Amino acid sequence: MATVKLSRFARVDVLRQARPKWLRKLFEPHESFFTDRGVVFDESEEFDYEKLAEVLAKPDPDMDDKLIEALFFIHEMSKDEDMGRILDENNKRPAGEQISFDFLDAPTAMEVAIQTWLTDRSFLEEKHAEQKVSSRRSFQTYPSHKPEPLAKFDADAKAKIINRVDDWLVKMKRERNTRIVSFNNPDGIWFMIRHGLPFRREGSIDKGQSGAVYFQPEHFDVVVYDPDTGDLRINAENDKVTEIYRKAFGSFLFGSEDRFQKIDQFSLDPLLEQGEKSLVCSDTPGLEKITLKEAAYYWGGNHNEMEIRKADDLFAAYRDRKLELPNHGRLISATFDVKFDNVKTTRSFTIRLPRGTKFQRDEDGMALYNWMRKRGFIVKPIEDDEIFPDADMATASI
């Protein structure tokens, strides 16, 4: 197994964020590992944080994978804002599912993360997944036959998707280490898929001696299924794994590898055919004004020539020169400034043919996809009943 670096956790200032009694609770299942290395967990104020940091800082093949995983999630979820998210979301859960933090005495963010891990690790993993995917705003979109609820995402379907990704990882000389966490968002069902990148080797020094650390950096891909539109949106490491997700989610959730179609999803023709009228958004709740600020044209040829036109307001710039937006070359992407209701500053939004979109914030997507449909920027997929199973398959829910 790859050696995992714990340097981000193995710092005295980080470890001191948890009192000795909480470190003892966390490390109790691994007590023999630490006592063999001179770390004795007691609840005194003289606890040797320096010794614990020294042990965690050294790559050790005897360290239990479960311990490594616990340290990873706890450190990732030990910021003040993470503590607030955990407590807020915990209060929203049914009474019988809530974690009791009442006995914690003025807890730190790390102690809340430790207690959450020890009580309900899946809940902490879910909150971590939401944190990790919150910055993913660039997606490739694949339309389906029709909108409908998620067919199924039981343990069997999850295992099959994981196995499909793991098979690819093995071919790429990596380990079978894929994990999937799912949760509901207003714009669909989000799946965070964690796996390793290619192995890396870094030089290290241990007691004055040069050495090396081998490890696999972790990577997070995101797949979103929107039951309202039937679309699958993917943010992944590369085009190859994007295609694996497209087929695997179609096959194991809906019974067909081609459930989500690899066709052009977006069009920029409205900009050329309707001009500024294509930017009207008064009929779309949440939007106040949309301005075209950049257009990219592809000329191709032997040198793959491209041309990019920019302005604060591209239509206005051409209008002042009594010209129209160029209708030559191939328009392949457009970037807009979007003014949302009750928001002072504008935010950027990009459509990139054939299937790409990029937002600045997650919540932007719902309003902008609605606007795109009304203005004709979204291409309606061609229905093909022959390649899809009966609708009766879509019975279970997440």
What pLDDT digit, counting tens, does each position of 282-302 carry?
999 999 999 999 999 999 888
If you average pLDDT over residues 176-201, what whole number do you get? 85
Q: By three-state DSSP, how is residue 144 classified?
A: strand
Nearest-5° angle of CA 90, CA 94, CA 96? 100
Percent of the chain with pLDDT over 70: 84
Long-range contacts of 34-37 (CB under 8 A, 24+ apart): none
CB-based contact 256:250 (threshold 8 Å): yes
Provide the CB-side half-sphere exposure for 343 (13 A, CA): 15
Which DSSP symbol is given to 133? H
Q: What is the mean pLDDT of residues 163-191?
A: 88
pLDDT of residue 358: 86
Helix, strand, coil % in the chain, rounded to nearest 5: 40, 25, 40
Give the rounded distance of the alpha carbon of 59 from its chain centre: 28
Q: Which two tokens stand for residue 97?
A: 């599912």
Residue 300 CA to residue 11 CA, distance in Å, equals 53
Classify 392 as helix, strand or coil: helix
Q: Using N-to-C axis directions, what is the helix angle for 109-119 and 20-27, rounded to 10°?
A: 30
Residue whose pair of structure tokens reads 């004709």 in the numeric block: 376
Q: How many CB atoms lie within 10 A of CB 39?
A: 20
**pLDDT (average), residues 140-164:** 86
Query: Tens digits of per-residue pLDDT, 69-121?
Result: 888 888 888 888 889 889 888 888 888 888 887 666 778 899 999 999 999 98
Residues 162 and 250: beta-carbon distance below 8 Å? no
pLDDT tens string 325-368: 988 889 999 999 999 998 889 999 999 998 888 887 766 777 89
Of all residues in the chain, the percent with pLDDT exceeding 90 is 32
DSSP lists the bridge partners of residue 180 as: 193
Residue 8 has pLDDT above 90, yes or no: no
Most confident of 129-138, 140-149, 159-168, 204-213: 159-168
Judge whether 311 and 295 are in contact, CB under 8 Å: no
The answer on pLDDT for 387 being more than 60 is: no
Cis peptide before 227 (omega within 30 of 0): no
Q: In the chain, how many H helices and how many E strands?
A: 13, 12
Q: Which residue has the higher pLDDT, 228 or 289?
A: 289
